């Protein structure tokens, strides 16, 4: 018998940028969990805000990736939390960037 699965299609954008480190210009790639619609200006603003310590100066390229993710229903029930508790927790948590987590992930340095 086939196990029931929970699936989601997740779209992300790999944004390769130029940043200044010391006196050098380096390329870095960040993965942002959304489709930025090839809008380089939006991507630059978002990454500069999310990574204020990285001196990001220019977007070089953007690649949108769409993947289907899934897990068996029993695993989902084990790790998921009811949305009612999520909304209750969200109301009490601070919007401080340190406690809110990160939006994108720096995948290369």
Tens-binned pLDDT, residue by residue, of the chain (109 aa): 888 999 999 999 999 999 999 999 999 999 999 999 989 999 999 999 999 999 999 999 999 999 999 999 999 999 988 887 666 666 655 444 444 444 455 555 4
What confidence score (pLDDT) does residue 13 get?
96
CATH assignment at residue 85: 3.10.20
Written as six digits, the tokens of 103 are: 């939006």
Q: Domain residues for 21?
A: 5-93+100-106
What confidence score (pLDDT) does residue 1 get?
81
Q: How many domains does the chain have?
A: 1
Written as six digits, the tokens of 109 are: 């340095």
What confidence score (pLDDT) does residue 109 get?
43
């Amino acid at each position: 018998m086939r196990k029931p699965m929970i699936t989601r299609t997740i779209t992300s954008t790999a944004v390769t940028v130029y940043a200044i480190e010391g006196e050098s210009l380096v390329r870095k790639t960040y993965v942002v969990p959304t489709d930025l619609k090839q809008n380089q200006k939006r991507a630059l603003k978002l990454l500069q805000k999310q990574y204020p310590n990285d001196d990001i100066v220019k977007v070089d390229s953007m690649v949108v990736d769409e993947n289907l993710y899934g897990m068996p229903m029993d695993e989902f029930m084990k790790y998921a939390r009811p949305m009612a508790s999520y909304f209750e927790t969200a109301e009490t948590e601070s919007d401080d960037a340190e406690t809110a987590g990160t939006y994108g992930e720096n995948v290369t340095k």
